[in-house]
Amino acid sequence: MTAGADPAPSDPAGLRVVVIAAGSHIFQAAHVPAILATGVQVVGVFDAEPSRAAEVAAEHGWKVADTLDELLALDADAAVVCAPHPLHAELVQRCLDAQLWVLVEKPLAARLSEIDALTAAVEASGRQVAVVQQHRLRAEVVQARRRIAAGELGAVHRAVVTASYPKRASYYVDTPWRGTWQGEGGGVLLNQGLHDIDVLVHLLGRPDAVTANLRTLVQPIETEDTADVLLEWTGGATATVHITSAARLDGNRTEIFGSGGSLRLSQDGLDIRSGHGDFRDFAATAGGHFDAYEVSDWRRAVPHGGGTHAEVYSDFATAWAEDGEPLTTARAARDAVEVIAAAALSSTRRATVSLPLDPAEFDAFLDARIAASPGRRTPERTPA
């Protein structure tokens, strides 16, 4: 990466951060334990609702800044941004302008135009922006990526992603930014499903076409609570994705099938299965019309592990200490957002959308959705 203006520090635990949106659920549930585990120092916190920042600051003896300007004037190396995602681009830019590295919650932004502007700002600043896409650090995802890169699956033919994030309506109703075009810029795909899509594109690369059916089945929201998406790669591989916050399905998993082997990522770990030779060779050789193509039994390659915010902090702090790149840079975070933006466009148009997507086209789409927004729907069902 480009060198920063300051000499590279050497100790990851010496990283000093300021925190924006310290009152958020995610900061308190995941970032605080990660900060305590990694020894990163908090030199100040801020939240648009001061009482929320004051609460967490009092517990840990951290300074509370009354304004964002006051926070960014503190002597720190990096900023942690945990505000709702439509605010990320503006806040991250403010942090880069203040010469800080940035660790920002996912998604980096709903708009590709904002991600592109931030990527350019990163390059100009010599600082780095890391996005919290912690599933990339799961032991099973790390190993799946290594096996795919080593060619163990042969030619990838098919992937199937199934994930559910069942929510109560109050999850949306009590936090008004959720589930609206203005407040969130997307639905279950952009919020919870971002992780599943990110793992898929991290493993298989960005697809070349997206066809989607997004709908709102149960939740009192204007964006989708249920998504079916077909991804197509030029080489012939396809993936089908079903993600919902409107039902409880049977365990979240990603299955990838190739000509030489298959793998299955679940909350339990990575399972693999190999074929008896590459299927393309089997298909090309002479033999009985009804001969079976043999495959091994599934076996556990690695149990579930990692994927924690503490690992994200370690990766970020090490990148800062070594003046290197974090695992999920602004540029690396873009592919999943592009797929999700294309899915929203595709579903509305009832047509396949080719990638790369024109960022301005998606901006116009999102602006129109926001302008036409009816606001939050009230729940149609009351419990019996």
Ligand X SMILES: NC(=O)c1ccc[n+]([C@@H]2O[C@H](COP(=O)([O-])OP(=O)(O)OC[C@H]3O[C@@H](n4cnc5c(N)ncnc54)[C@H](O)[C@@H]3O)[C@@H](O)[C@H]2O)c1
- Binding residues for ligand X (CB under 6 A): 20-21, 23-26, 46-49, 52, 82-85, 87, 105-106, 132, 134, 175, 191
15 or 53: whose CB is closer to ligand X? 53
CB of 289 to ligand X, least distance (A): 50
CB of 118 to ligand X, least distance (A): 15
Q: Is the peptide bond before 107 cis (omega within 30 degrees of 0)?
A: yes
**C-beta of 180 vs 274, nearer to ligand X:** 180
Contact partners, residue 198, CB within 8 Å, separation at least 6:
106, 133, 135, 136, 333, 335, 336
Give yes or no for a contact between 222 and 115, defined as CB atoms under 8 angstroms apart.
Answer: no
Report, in Å, the least distance between residue 79 CB and ligand X: 11
Rank residues 180 and 211 by Cβ distance to ligand X and give the closer one.
180
* Order of strands across the sheet that contains 16-20: 41-46, 16-20, 78-81, 101-105, 129-132
Q: Which is nearer to ligand X, 11 or 69 (CB)?
A: 69
CB of 285 to ligand X, least distance (A): 47
Give 20 or 319: the residue with its C-beta nearer to ligand X: 20
Q: Which is nearer to ligand X, 135 or 264 (CB)?
A: 135
* Cα–Cα distance for residue pair 346/197, rounded to 1 Å: 16
Q: Find the shortest distance in angstroms from Cβ 292 to ligand X.
A: 42
d(CA 158, CA 372): 37
Q: Which is nearer to ligand X, 166 or 235 (CB)?
A: 166
Q: How many CB atoms lie within 10 A of CB 235?
A: 11
d(CA 357, CA 349) in angstroms, rounded, equals 14
For the bound state, the minimum distance from the C-beta of residue 378 to ligand X, rounded and expressed in Å, comes to: 20
CA angle (312, 314, 318) in 5-degree steps: 120
Q: Which residues make beta-bridge pairs with 78?
A: 17, 101
Q: How far is the CB of 88 from ligand X (least distance, A)?
A: 7
Tell me the C-alpha distance between 173 and 176, whole Å. 6
